[in-house]
């Protein structure tokens, strides 16, 4: 019995060893399989970004076909009784020009951001056709001398004039201001009736961002601008670093909108222009060329402006002949007479660090 038991144990051990050899052998010949690559999954909510374009008057990125309406220019009053103006803080462009008595008025232009009401509007002047024609669209004003109205009508711009039959429900006198500084325009309604007119062409060259603008890249630091148009108009601009804009003043005091915030501009363009006078009416002469300064981002670059015809936009180049590119955003264009003044003040130099070395005893 013991012999048979030992034999069975030896037989079992032999079988176990053989099985281990077989298993070991099988493990050696099994192929190494590659790690499977996971199949990428895609979200069904992914949307292709919409195509974009540049706003023609500000250079800002906007959705394609979002600005197909015409622009609205208006002859906006700058008399102290007209301030604060209505909607002036939402303009794309503002041109400031000399008028009688040493005062100034604005050609204000809205396109990318149009308020319901704008104004107060005043009468047209002889330089306004040259300013507005490159943009086409609509111009709103309160009237004017017949010779100047005829000049404005003889353009590619639709004239909306206070007192005409087609503007009876589009212009009204506000009780909030004294006459004649009280004519307000229903801007969005006026534009909605002329959507057959084309959108404006681009007026200036733009950089993709503030840091790439010509003034920031090639100019010199600037803190403030002081201008004199005439005896009764001394506007200015100061760099507001907190808001990254130029803040406007008039006669040494902040020029405030209805919310109590100074009017502001991303770009301030100062053009020195000749002014002629006919029957006591000044006319800014814009067909020609002259000296220019462009300020963006707290910097200033010098150059030249040129305009070859009524319908051509103003072209700006630096002293090397390279086109000046503005920062994206709104612009004020200051048409300063050659007899006026334009002064530019650099920021003060940084304080000199104190000498850390101790003073030797005397």
For residue 210, give the DSSP letter: G
- pLDDT per residue over 278-334, tens digit each? 999 999 999 999 999 999 999 999 999 999 999 999 999 999 999 999 999 999 999
Task: Show the domains of the chain with their CATH numbers.
Answer: 52-192 (3.50.90.10), 205-345 (3.50.90.10)
Mean pLDDT rounded to a whole number for the chain: 90
Question: Whole-angstrom Cα distance, residue 45 to residue 198?
Answer: 36
Would you say residue 67 has pLDDT above 80? Answer: yes
36-46 average pLDDT score: 62
Radius of gyration of the chain (CA): 35
Higher-confidence residue: 167 or 23?
167
Alpha helices in the chain (DSSP H): 2-29, 128-132, 146-153, 187-192, 214-218
Which contiguous run of DSSP H or E holds residue 336? Answer: strand 331-337
Residues 141-160: tens digit of each pLDDT: 999 999 999 999 999 999 99
- Residue-wise pLDDT for 4-23, tens only, equals 444 444 554 444 443 444 33
Question: In 250-300, which ranges are continuous DSSP H helix?
Answer: none
181: its two tokens: 């500084």
């Amino acid at each position: 019995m013991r012999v048979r038991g030992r034999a069975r144990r030896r037989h079992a051990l032999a079988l176990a060893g053989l099985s281990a050899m077989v298993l070991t052998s099988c493990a050696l010949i099994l192929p190494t399989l590659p790690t499977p690559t996971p199949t990428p999954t895609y979200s069904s909510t992914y949307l292709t970004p919409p195509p974009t374009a540049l706003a023609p008057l500000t250079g800002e990125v906007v959705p394609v076909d979002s600005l197909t309406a015409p622009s609205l220019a208006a002859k906006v009053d700058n008399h102290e009784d007209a301030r604060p103006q209505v909607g002036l803080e939402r303009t794309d462009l503002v041109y400031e020009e000399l008028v009688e008595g040493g005062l100034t008025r604005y050609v204000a232009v809205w396109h990318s951001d149009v308020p319901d009401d704008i104004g107060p509007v005043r009468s047209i002047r002889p330089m306004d056709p040259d300013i507005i024609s490159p943009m086409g669209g609509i111009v709103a004003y309160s009237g004017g001398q017949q010779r100047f109205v005829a000049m404005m009508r003889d353009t590619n711009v639709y004239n909306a004039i206070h007192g005409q039959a087609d503007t009876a429900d589009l212009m009204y006198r506000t009780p909030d201001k004294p006459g004649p500084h009280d004519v307000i325009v229903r801007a969005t309604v006026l534009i909605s009736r002329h959507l057959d007119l084309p959108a404006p062409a681009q007026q200036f060259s733009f950089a993709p961002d503030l840091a790439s603008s010509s003034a920031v890249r090639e100019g010199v630091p600037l803190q403030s601008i002081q201008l004199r148009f005439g005896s009764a108009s001394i506007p200015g601009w100061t760099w507001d670093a907190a808001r990254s804009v130029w803040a406007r003043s008039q006669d040494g005091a902040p020029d405030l909108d209805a919310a109590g915030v100074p009017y502001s501009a991303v770009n301030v363009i100062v053009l020195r222009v000749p002014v002629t006078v006919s029957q006591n009416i000044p006319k800014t002469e814009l067909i020609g060329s002259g000296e220019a300064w462009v300020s963006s981002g707290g910097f200033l670059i010098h150059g030249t402006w040129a305009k070859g015809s009524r319908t051509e936009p103003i072209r700006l180049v630096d002293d090397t002949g390279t086109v000046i590119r503005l920062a994206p955003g709104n612009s004020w264009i200051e048409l300063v007479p050659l007899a006026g003044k334009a002064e530019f003040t650099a920021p003060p130099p940084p304080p000199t660090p104190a000498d850390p070395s101790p003073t030797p005893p005397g």
